[in-house]
C-alpha cells in the first residue's frame, strides 16, 4: 500500500508541474521564455517531487540561500545608516523583484524567471555597497564586479545548480551587457528604476536633498512625487514593450531617466555627506584583504589567494566586516570567538 501511495503521489505532483508548464503556453506572450524550452541546468534535477516549474525552483533556491539572507545587512547607499527605514541591499532586491514582476505580468512574460533573476542579481555584492566593490576592484589583479561575483555565488560558492536562463539574467543585469531573454531585459530596467527612486527617497530622508532640488524638467516629466514618478517609469517600459520581442523604454523616457541618474551621481552618490565614511570602509576592506592574504600564504599558491580572499570578504555583511576589523586591529580586553577557522580549515584540507 505504501508503494501505491507513492505512485499516486508522484503522478499527482507531475501533473501539477505539467499543468503549470502548459499554462505558460496558453497564457504567456509568444516572446516569453517557457520552462519547457529552457536550456536546462549543469546537473539534472535532484528533488523527487516536481510540483514547481524549473524557474520557480530557481527562485526558491535563491530565496533559501545563505547569501540571500546576508543581503539584509549589506549597504545599499548609506553606510551604517542611523535610520532603520533606509534601504539595504535586501530591500533593494525585493523592490527590483516587485517592479520586475509588475512589468512581466503586464507584458505576459515569465514572471517566475523575472523573480528568480531579480532575487539573485545582487548576491555577489560586497559589504559597504559600491565602495566595497570599488575597493576589491582595485585589489584584485583581474578586478572585481558584483554581477560576475553573483554568478560565482550561485555557480561555485553555493552551487545552486540554476537554469542557464537564470544565471545569464544575473550576469547581464548591469548595463553594458545584452540580456538574451526579455525577462532578463526587464530586470535590467527594474534594477535601474528601483535604485534611482529609492535612492531619491532615502536621500530626502537623510536631508541631503529635497524634492525641490530635483531637475525641473525631470520632475515635470516624471513628477517629483515618489509614487507617481515610479509609476510613470514602470508604465513607460510596459507601454513601449507591449507586443514587442524586446523590452525597451521610450526615447524620451530614457532620456530623463539617464539625466536623473546623472544628477543623482553628482548630488547624492558623490556627495560628501553620503560618502563621509567611505574612507574608513575602504580601509577596513584593504586591511582585511591584506590580513587574509598573508594568512593563506602557507596553504595556497600566490595566484590563487586573491580570489579566495575576495570570496570571503565579498560575502561579509557590513557589521561582520567591522567586527572582524575590530577583532584583528583594535586592542580589546577579551577577543570574541571568530569564524575565521572555516577559512583556515578549508586551506588546511589542501595540505
What's residue 336's pLDDT? 56
For 136-160, the pLDDT digits (tens) are 999 999 999 999 999 999 999 999 9
The alpha-helical segments, DSSP class H, found in the chain are 2-27, 54-63, 66-70, 89-107, 111-120, 129-139, 146-152, 164-171, 182-205, 216-222, 226-241, 251-264, 278-295, 305-314, 318-329, 341-348
For 310-342, the pLDDT digits (tens) are 999 999 999 999 999 999 999 876 555 566 777
Query: For the chain, which residues make up each domain, given as ranges?
Result: 51-269, 278-348
The DSSP result for 272-329, as a single string, is TTTTTTHHHHHHHHHHHHHHHHHHTTTTS-TTTHHHHHHHHHHT--HHHHHHHHHHHH
Determine the average pLDDT of the residues in 53-70. Answer: 96
For 94-110, the pLDDT digits (tens) are 999 999 999 999 999 99
b (16+ CB within 10 A) / e for 242-274: eeeeebebeeebbebbeebeebbeebbbebeeb
What's residue 7's pLDDT? 37
The DSSP result for 74-111, as a single string, is SBSSSSS-SSTTS-BHHHHHHHHHHHHHHHHHHHT--H
Residue 216 grid coordinates: 525641473
CA angle, residues 57, 61, 62, in degrees to nearest 5? 120
Is 73 a residue whose pLDDT tops 80?
yes
Is 112 a residue whose pLDDT tops 70?
yes
Coil/strand/helix, residue 332 = coil
Residue percentage of the chain with pLDDT more than 90? 76
Of 210 and 270, the structure prediction assigns the larger pLDDT to 210
CA Rg, the chain, in Å? 22
Is 49 a residue whose pLDDT tops 80?
no
Residue 36 grid coordinates: 519547457
For 164-196, the pLDDT digits (tens) are 999 999 999 998 999 999 999 999 999 999 999
Residues 6+ away with beta carbon under 8 Å from 1: none
Q: Please check whether the domain covering 51-269 is classified as CATH 1.10.150.80.
A: no
For 3-46, the pLDDT digits (tens) are 333 333 445 556 898 999 999 999 999 999 999 999 999 998 66
Residue 59 grid coordinates: 527562485
Determine the average pLDDT of the residues in 224-228. Answer: 91
Closest CA to 34 of 24, 48, 46: 24
Question: CA 149, CA 315: separation in Å to the nearest integer?
Answer: 10
Question: CA 11, CA 30: separation in Å to the nearest integer?
Answer: 29
> Per mean pLDDT, which range of 5-19, 24-38, 242-256, 275-289 is the poorest?
5-19
User: Phi and psi at residue 272, in whole multiples of 5°?
Assistant: -60, -35
Closest CA to 157 of 346, 299, 339, 350: 346
Contact in structure between 111 and 101 (CB atoms under 8 Å): yes
Amino acid at each position: 500500500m505504501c508503494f501505491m501511495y507513492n505512485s499516486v503521489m508522484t503522478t499527482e505532483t507531475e501533473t501539477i508541474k505539467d499543468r503549470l508548464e502548459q499554462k505558460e503556453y496558453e497564457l504567456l506572450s509568444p516572446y516569453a521564455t517557457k520552462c519547457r524550452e529552457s536550456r536546462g541546468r549543469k546537473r539534472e534535477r535532484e528533488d523527487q517531487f516536481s510540483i514547481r516549474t524549473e524557474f520557480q525552483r530557481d527562485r526558491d533556491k535563491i530565496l533559501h540561500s545563505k547569501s540571500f539572507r546576508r543581503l539584509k545587512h549589506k549597504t545599499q547607499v548609506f553606510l551604517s545608516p542611523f535610520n532603520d527605514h533606509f534601504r539595504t541591499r535586501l530591500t533593494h532586491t525585493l523592490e527590483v523583484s516587485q517592479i520586475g514582476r509588475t512589468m512581466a505580468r503586464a507584458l505576459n512574460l515569465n514572471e517566475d524567471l523575472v523573480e528568480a533573476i531579480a532575487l539573485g542579481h545582487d548576491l555577489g555584492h560586497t559589504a559597504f555597497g559600491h565602495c566595497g566593490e570599488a575597493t576589491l576592484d582595485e585589489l584584485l589583479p583581474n578586478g572585481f564586479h558584483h554581477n560576475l561575483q553573483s554568478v560565482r555565488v550561485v555557480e561555485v560558492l553555493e552551487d545552486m545548480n540554476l537554469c542557464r536562463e537564470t544565471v545569464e539574467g544575473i550576469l547581464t543585469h548591469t548595463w553594458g551587457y545584452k540580456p538574451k531573454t526579455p525577462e532578463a531585459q526587464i530586470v535590467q530596467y527594474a534594477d535601474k528604476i528601483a535604485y534611482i527612486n529609492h535612492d531619491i527617497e532615502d536621500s530626502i530622508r537623510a536631508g541631503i536633498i529635497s524634492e525641490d532640488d530635483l531637475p525641473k524638467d525631470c520632475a515635470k516629466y516624471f513628477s517629483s512625487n515618489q509614487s507617481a514618478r515610479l509609476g510613470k517609469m514602470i508604465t513607460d517600459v510596459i507601454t513601449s514593450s507591449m507586443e514587442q520581442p524586446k523590452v525597451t523604454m521610450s526615447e524620451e523616457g530614457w532620456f530623463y531617466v539617464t539625466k536623473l541618474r546623472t544628477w543623482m551621481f553628482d548630488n547624492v552618490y558623490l556627495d560628501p555627506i553620503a560618502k563621509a565614511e567611505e574612507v574608513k570602509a575602504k580601509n577596513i576592506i584593504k586591511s582585511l584583504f591584506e590580513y587574509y592574504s598573508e594568512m593563506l600564504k602557507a596553504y595556497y599558491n600566490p595566484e590563487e589567494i586573491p580570489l579566495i580572499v575576495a570570496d570571503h570578504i565579498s560575502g561579509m555583511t557590513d557589521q561582520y566586516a567591522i567586527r572582524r576589523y575590530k577583532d584583528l586591529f583594535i586592542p580589546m580586553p577579551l577577543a570574541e570567538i571568530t569564524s575565521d577557522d572555516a577559512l583556515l580549515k578549508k586551506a588546511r584540507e589542501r595540505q
